[in-house]
Structure 1
Amino acid sequence: MVGIIGIVVIFVMVFGGYTLHGGKMGIVLEAAPWEMIMIGGAAVGAFIISNDMPSIKHTLKDVGKVFKGAKWKPSDYRDLLCLLFELIRLARQNPVAIEEHIEAPESSSIFSKYPKIVHDHEAVELICDTMRSASMNYDDPHQVEEVLEKQLDANLHHALHGSHALQQVADGLPALGIVAAVLGVIKTMASIDQPPEILGAMIGSALVGTFMGVFMAYGLVGPFAAKVQTVVSEDAHFYKLIREVLVANLHNHATNICIEVGRQNTPHHIRPSFSELEEALKAVKDAA
């Protein structure tokens, strides 16, 4: 919703200001379809050339994040802490019993309580692989933390590809707008024998190309890229929370302390309150 509001504000302010200042929308509307074919078509072509098919699909999927926002909501962070609490408590009480949950999370009675998390391959893999390593005596907290940090950095780098691809398109749009404008000038020069009023309209039409290239770059595609980067970076906190809790577990802190370490390392605007988490953990204990 916020993304849609932003787009509406951009169009209203730019074209509203133009018309209020006495500008005529006729020239813009008449030239826009042809300029869009050249500028938009060239931008799409360049985007296809510079990316493989998985990256193209990834980027197109990321565009939806501009309007949907972050995948993980505050309630999901609470659920994640509850899930980790159950897993750590079970691992300490019965190291053998935990194996069925981390080896087959899709059929685990613990994971099944949190369907949104269990359907996220990256989160489940991070939890299960780390707990499996701990059960194999690969329990040097500093070494595990370093491995997890590298894994999270690699995952984040991959997740940000859509943002980088959109930014590359945004960087090229002004130049493509100039290309369209130059072609318009070439067309105008071929009609140099026409009256001034006709030449003026043709030059104005040509300049629409420059306008549209710059407008799409800085008014639409560039902000889209920035928004995708913001959303991806915010979602990355979800996986960092997993690292913080599981590393605290390897330091042999009390289970409640491990969960509190994760809660406190969560950004404030998505962090569950202490009392809210306590109530959720109490419900988990009562259900056990």
Structure 2
Amino acid sequence: MIAILGILVVIGCVASGYWIAGGKFGVLLQPAELLVIGGAALGSLLIASTKTSLKLVVHHIREVFSGKHYSKTQYVELLSLLARLLIKIRREGLASVERDVEHPEASAIFTGHQNIKNDTQMIRFICDTFRVYLVTGEPGEIEGIMHADIESMHALTALPAQNISKVAESLPGLGIVAAVLGVVLTMQKITAPPDELGHSIGAALVGTFLGVLLCYGFVGPMATKLENRSQEREAFFGVIRATISATAHGATPMIALEFGRRSVPDIYRPTFEELEQIIRGG
């Protein structure tokens, strides 16, 4: 909804400013210019993309308009899930969580958190890490594995933003291409009356206008939105990494979860008192 509101604000402000200055909207309606710019931008994306990166762009572009976002509730539930795992390990030993991490879909620990239980990537990350912990228990190896996994995930989630950003950068240039084609058409009418020539030149300049507006008003911000979501996702996994890493180094559940709590972005971070309630609930 925020992205849609932003689009409406951009269109409304640009259109209002143009209207206040005495502009006529009819001259801005140039389907041919839009076809040249939009079609060339799409073609350049296809040329630059691999099959995998193109699939990622199509999949993630919906997130620009999605109302889903990380919240304090999700971070609290994540800490609660980790607390239940760590407390069970503390009371019953490391082997006690083997069944939970092997079959998370049947584990009360994983299925009891409505806001995050459907995040299969996050669940898999926790379970795979604890599987390694069950086998080796070496803090350095566990940290290295988590770092490699998060780095790999971030590299993939960053691809759509990078590709769309490149498209945004190309739009002003493609707008110039459309404008030049318009000038070429205008030159063929050089003997036409001044009114007709003025209209033709104005139509040609619309290409430059559209290219710049699409770049800085729409496509560029979309790339930034996807980049922000990728960074937020990495921060979410960083809480898991900090908590499990502290556990692997021998920290008590309370200290390990405090490491996790301190890794939560400040605007979503639960208080120390709230963490204590989470642990008691575990």
Deviations along 1:95-120, whole A, 9 cap, x unmatched?
Answer: 33311111111121211112443322
Taking only aligned residues, the RMSD between alpha carbons, in angstroms, comes to: 1.7
SS at match of 2:95: coil
Counterpart of 2:98 in structure 1 is 99
Question: In structure 1, how many angstroms separate the alpha carbons of the residues matched to 2:199 and 2:182?
Answer: 11
Deviations along 1:203-244, whole A, 9 cap, x unmatched?
A: 100110111011101111001101110121012111110000
Deviation string 1:17-47 (CA, Å, 9 cap, x unpaired) is 1111122211112x2x221111111111211
Mapped to 1, the partners of 2:196 and 2:281 lie a distance apart of: 76
User: Residue in 2 aligned with 1:172?
Assistant: 170
Equivalent residue of 1:118, what SS? coil
- Tell me: CA distance 1:232–1:69, structure 2 relative to 1, closer, same or farther (3 Å): farther
Q: Once structures 1 and 2 are overlaid, which stretch shifts more, 138-147 or 168-177? A: 138-147
Post-superposition, which runs of at least 4 consecutive aligned residues in structure 1 deviate over 4 A? none
Distance 1:69 1:277, change over 3 A: farther
Q: Is the 8 A contact 1:69 1:231 kept in 2?
A: no
> Cα deviations across residues 107-142 of structure 1 (Å, max 9, x unaligned)?
212111124433223212221122111111x22323
Q: What is the aligned partner in structure 2 of residue 183 from structure 1?
A: 181
Q: Is 113-122 or 190-199 further displaced after alignment? A: 113-122
Give the SS at the match of 1:82. Answer: helix
Query: Residues 245-269 of structure 1: CA distance to partner in whole angstroms, max 9, x if unpaired?
Result: 0000011111111111100111111
**1:160 has 2:154 as partner:** no
1:16 aligned partner: 16
> Of 78, 81, 102, which residue of structure 2 is paired with 1:80?
78
Cα offsets for 1:35-86 (capped at 9, x unmatched): 1111111111211222234422321332232233564321111111111111
Query: Offset at 1:8?
Result: 1.7
State the AA in 1 paired with 2:251.
Answer: H
**Paired-residue identity, %:** 37
Alpha-carbon distance between aligned partners in 2 of 1:96 and 1:153, rounded to the nearest angstrom? 28
Instruction: Give the distance between the partners of 2:96 and 2:144, measured in 1 at CA.
Output: 27
Query: Greater CA deviation, 204-213 or 37-46?
Result: 37-46
**For 2:134 and 2:89, how far apart are their aligned partners in 1?**
9
Among 211, 214, 221, which residue is 2:212 paired with?
A: 214
Checking the alignment, whether the CA contact within 8 Å between 2:79 and 2:278 is kept in structure 1 is no
The separation in 2 between residues aligned to 1:223 and 1:205, in whole angstroms, is 26
Displacement after TM superposition at 1:146 (Å): 2.6
Gaps in structure 2 of 5+ consecutive residues: none
CA distance, structure 2, for counterparts of residue 34 and residue 24 of structure 1 = 18
Query: TM-score scaled by structure 1?
Result: 0.92
> Do structure 1's residue 111 and structure 2's residue 110 form an aligned pair?
yes
Please state how far the C-alpha of 1:196 moved relative to its aligned partner: 0.9
**1:110-259 matched pairs, under 5 angstroms:** 110-136=109-135, 138-259=136-257
Local SS of the residue matching 1:193: coil
